[in-house]
Structure 1
């Protein structure tokens, strides 16, 4: 059924019932370069991902909004442009006139070709739960650069907004739903597949797949041996790394940590490796490649993320805690060098009774990477 024939109040109800369907649809629209409506209470904002901007899409956006757009971006990215102080949160940058798409992308992307930036009229801090903050959060969920073009929709009430959006074929999504999405979907994991998969050096292994209720990316539990449910389980939390895990990249130590954890768990008898779908510390593969390019220009691994407008680490560990509970464990002996993982699991209700060091030799390509993790992220190497 075309969106123009769907009651948008029904879409909102669907979100409340399933914990993220509307956000999942909004994510797909953002990645395709489609505008959508983000609503926080009585205020509604038209939003479009900056990364997907073209002059044609921007012209349509301005026509729909009936006003010049603003640029919503993270405070971290804005501070690097001299548009405010560093810190968490989102700012709304008001611009003079209607800028072209390329100039907006220049502001959001540190790797964009140099161009004359539009004249900035004002920079305003967005409220933590408002539509501008949610639009930037949606860009992160979509694994795009964390910036969005926004414009307040000047209609009187929510019914007018719904009628207008229906006529224009625009999806409406609630700001609160976007901001709750990462944790909400992680709490709704369900087992969707399980099989015995013998591994080199760990033949007695089962792989269990968990899928969030919105149908998003699966997380994987690799259960080695037969862990005793009455004892803390030996566990490793490993965020996916396409370049390191699959291609044996020398820029990181991820591949060594993955294969080393499987070997060590097997040697110790039993345990679990939780493989989280959080590439690049939660920013996605494309943004990780952008961070690599910035590293080649002289930034370290932390500063490269900040240049892109992300936090140094965007991961959450609710999925790991939920998988542990579903396989029957609330106490772990955690294989990690990262004290934040220990703290995060504790906040999620999983007791870390022991930290097990998990260190591998460096090489000529990842020495600076490992040094930065120790100095700036507190890794115990």
Structure 2
């Protein structure tokens, strides 16, 4: 597969030029202007404001955001794509109102300067930092991560300045309009899927370590152990049957839940969902269950138990996570997508009630051909929990 277009995009980023990055039609279906933050100029900011007309944002690593004390804009992030905005900022020095192209250039420069400290930034302001996921587009298929990956691969600081491209009538520019914009301004245009393929041809998030037989009461599965190359952790996958790329495969991505999966806790429906998925896959005779180490929607076992205590004191599952200082859902599914791809599946029938899982699988060379609900009846202990997942987390519980 040729990757000349991505190579050209990286070269242009290295040379301080804009490129256009487009995401999936099923995701945001938008294009962003992208430039490496360390090469941004006042003229570049002015071009974004005049020609693209969207929000001007700066992608940063979580470590950089922590160094600058950039708190999340909203502790309870309910945006569809979990875009990790921090509080907006202005540079304190060498700016006036903060809104001019020069002022925003100064703010961008302050955000990435190695000697900047938290006190160099006023809050709120006119530039919007966004925290990217470690692992980039292989972890989350978003413009934030794409801009960081492109800057890093260009040998620059892993930070991009990005701006959504809008049509003249104020709506989001879609693919044909983005092509016209690209031709008008002579800008390379790539998709996030192009970048994922490019990175996956050179690197991975996971590595398969071992495969063993896994006989269960539901069927003869194979158990696959994967090492997470970006985190000191491991993940598992259960398969049954012969996985073929050209065939639609029943898939469940399941996040670890010790209390539900092992002890049969009635506080949640996790264990029941896992068992139901295993039964359905065994009945069909072909399928995959990816078991990710994302206990407590990503907050870990200890914090999950603390969240349980807060729930006993009257908070719901979302409020408890936020009270502990976490977003409602910290999970990501890029690792799961890579595991599924490694196992040979390309066309997926996904068993889930959570639409975020579908978003997380996009752009990884996987086609979602259908979604199947996996509904477990409520009991007296988890009725409120399931209602919260439906109303606050958008789960499609019937």
Instruction: Please give the per-residue CA displacement for 1:337-371, whole angstroms capped at 9, x wherever unaligned.
Output: 11221222124332110111211111111000111
Deviation at 1:240, TM superposition (A): 0.4
Instruction: Please give the per-residue CA displacement for 1:284-342, whole angstroms capped at 9, x wherever unaligned.
Output: 11222222222222221122222223222111111111011111112101111112212
Deviation at 1:91, TM superposition (A): 5.5
Partner of 1:297: 313
Deviation at 1:372, TM superposition (A): 1.0
- Is this contact kept in 1: 2:353–2:396, CA < 8 A? yes
| Higher-helix-fraction structure | 1
> How far apart are the structure 2 equivalents of 1:348 and 1:226?
21
1:165-204 equivalent positions in 2, closer than 5 A? 187-202=204-219, 204=220
How many residues are matched? 241
CA change 1:123–1:307 in 2 (3 A) is farther
Partner of 1:74: 72
Partner of 1:238: 254
- Is this contact kept in 2: 1:78–1:91, CA < 8 A? no
Partner of 1:12: none
Partner of 1:310: 326
CA change 1:354–1:200 in 2 (3 A) is same
CA change 1:280–1:210 in 2 (3 A) is same
- Are residue 266 (structure 1) and residue 282 (structure 2) matched? yes
Gaps of at least 5 residues in structure 2 are 1-36, 39-62, 78-82, 89-121, 135-156, 160-195
- Is this contact kept in 1: 2:311–2:317, CA < 8 A? yes
Aligned with 2:215: secondary structure?
Answer: coil
CA change 1:252–1:77 in 2 (3 A) is same
Aligned with 1:237: secondary structure?
Answer: strand
Partner of 1:378: 394
RMSD: 3.7
> How far apart are the structure 2 equivalents of 1:78 and 1:370?
18
CA change 1:293–1:76 in 2 (3 A) is farther
